[in-house]
Chains A and B, each alone.
Chain A
């Protein structure tokens, strides 16, 4: 664990924004491949991007702060409902809806953070589950507002920048989501390397020691939860806009568990790990779960156990060390 903080501290770079530009380019290329290879599955790919925001957001609290949470879908769901409700009530500009989603997500993040970040271990886990379930129960019961178990439907956002309409083939939704993903990803790359982000890693590595050197642990974690809520909020609002419905599955316990699996599959504590985990998991789910949900559960369970036993840092860590060895080999 201690290796991460020291390895990833950026060395002096020749071009200051090289890495950020590289990340943006890589996501754009992957996105373009998806766009041209699977033009019929764009709705699914848009959903994938929406979920990847949630996984990135979970990475901020779990990967960078070490908080074990099983209620992270709450932020996503609250933002999705907020954007959906605003849209049904007459706010149709996509950017305004996005802002509403971010605001709702941040608020929910701060509330959950204030409750969850206080403790460690079992109380933390139970509180995170209880917060998630509380939101789910509310979404189910406030039928006049959220549509209850029928879901909230009839979300028809207006044109992006007043030009591009949300069409049937989700082209606009896909490109719009992809553009936002690039912006958020680059911003997060900067953010996790900021002094604030590094201090959060220090808290994760040893919260007692962090406290001893004078770090205000609890406020930092709550703040990080707020940022993470904002990122989840982006995903929630985008998903609400692109699918046109918000259902109870967005806030369900299963969603929280699934995104945790995605994060760990890719590698917690790396933004690229979060993205890779989402892509691999969602594509497999798309194929296998359609055939038989119970086979899917068996597979996910087996996969989780294998990861915990053989690759507890996720798939990104072996890939990174391989890349490091390759570059080192070339240099010598």
Chain B
């Protein structure tokens, strides 16, 4: 029972981190049809900035999160203007893969040149670092914080996409970009705003999830596959899909690590192959044919 509960807490927290980071990627893929392999690299920039802000500028954790998100979005603007804009909605996946892998390599190289190639810790404030007593037993506060962050992200995204005018325009652009354009929706602005939102979410996830996915020099490459798998299993552009896929993969991965550490990865990828082969558009995705 104790074991089951700690597996569950870890799995849900891990799944939430995956969700916060991958939902940005999923939205980008759903709207701009860009397979952005560099998404993890932007999450990594967020992590490095937060680590730098807390350890060298001694600011508070919450300020550091804000700095990291804003800083990463600022860094990403030239990439959007110069590079990503060229590959929006282009059908050739090879070009997208090559460009975004190139961006990933570039970011890894430059970030490690500036901040040094070592593991970056993001110290937690005392409020979040201890265990929290929830009645019958105690769980790490940080895990609960991450879970709360994930839920808030999911809810606010749902509100943003379903209830606001921006959301309506966004969904119109997803469904038929040309028609949306003709109706007077400035799709390039929608694209740019969505890009910033996606990158910001990635950076946010990178910072709050740093305890679970540690920020290290090859972060962008190590978790690139994981994020991509979440989107592919969940279906591009679907909040519900990304959330359930994150939970599913988080649970599978964490349970595997607790119970059968030798073959965890093997079963993970076997499951991914089966799911993607059976549901090529993801569990909750739509075909864009």
Min CB–CB distance B245 → chain A (angstroms): 12
10 A–B contact pairs at CB < 8 A?
A: A70-B97, A118-B277, A125-B228, A130-B272, A133-B265, A268-B94, A301-B105, A301-B109, A304-B101, A305-B106
Task: Name B276's contact: one of A70, A130, A137, A303 (CB within 8 Å).
Answer: A130
**Chain B contacts of A68 at CB under 8 A?**
93-94, 97
**Chain B contacts of A307 at CB under 8 A?**
98, 102
In the bound assembly, the distance between CA atoms of A301 and B221 in angstroms comes to 13
A294, B109: Cβ atoms under 8 Å?
A: yes
In the bound assembly, the distance between CA atoms of A138 and B262 in angstroms comes to 10
B273 CB–A CB distance under 8 Å: yes
B179 CB–A CB distance under 8 Å: no
In the bound assembly, the distance between CA atoms of A120 and B96 in angstroms comes to 13
Min CB–CB distance B205 → chain A (angstroms): 20
A254, B221: Cβ atoms under 8 Å?
A: yes
B interface residue count range (under 10 / 10 to 19 / 20 to 34 / 35 or more): 35 or more
CB-CB contacts of B240-281 with A at 8 A, as 1s and 0s?
Answer: 000000000000000000000011011001101100110011
B103, A305: Cβ atoms under 8 Å?
A: yes
**Chain A contacts of B265 at CB under 8 A?**
133, 137, 140
Question: Do most interface residues of chain B lie in helix, strand or loop, or is the interface mixed?
Answer: helix
Chain B residues packing against A (C-beta within 8 Å): 29, 35, 83, 86, 93-95, 97-99, 101-110, 112-113, 117, 217, 221, 225, 228-229, 231-232, 236, 262-263, 265-266, 269-270, 272-273, 276-277, 280-281
**Chain B contacts of A260 at CB under 8 A?**
97-98, 101
In the bound assembly, the distance between CA atoms of A246 and B189 in angstroms comes to 51
**Chain A contacts of B29 at CB under 8 A?**
122
In the bound assembly, the distance between CA atoms of A140 and B236 in angstroms comes to 31
Contacts across chains A and B counted by CB atoms under 8 Å: 130
In the bound assembly, the distance between CA atoms of A257 and B220 in angstroms comes to 14
Question: Do most interface residues of chain A lie in helix, strand or loop, or is the interface mixed?
Answer: helix
A124 and B93 contact, Cβ closer than 8 Å, known pairs A129-B228, A141-B262: yes
B105, A297: Cβ atoms under 8 Å?
A: yes
A200 CB–B CB distance under 8 Å: no
Within 8 A of B (CB), among A126-158: 126-127, 129-131, 133-134, 137-138, 140-141
Task: Name B221's contact: one of A122, A134, A253, A302 (CB within 8 Å).
Answer: A253
**Chain A contacts of B97 at CB under 8 A?**
68, 70, 125, 260
Task: Name A131's contact: one of B35, B94, B273 (CB within 8 Å).
Answer: B273
**Chain A contacts of B102 at CB under 8 A?**
300-305, 307-308
Task: Name A309's contact: one of B86, B94, B107, B228 (CB within 8 Å).
Answer: B86
**Chain B contacts of A129 at CB under 8 A?**
225, 228-229
CB-CB contacts of A201-226 with B at 8 A, as 1s and 0s?
Answer: 00000000000000000000000000
**Chain A contacts of B263 at CB under 8 A?**
137, 141
Which of A141, A257, A299 has the most B CB atoms < 10 Å from its CB? A257
CB-CB contacts of A251-282 with B at 8 A, as 1s and 0s?
Answer: 00110010011001000100000000000000
A119 CB–B CB distance under 8 Å: yes
Which of B97, B98, B101, B270 has the most A CB atoms < 10 Å from its CB? B98
A2 CB–B CB distance under 8 Å: no
Going nearest first, the 5 A-B pairs with the smallest beta carbon separation are: A304-B102, A298-B109, A301-B106, A301-B105, A297-B109
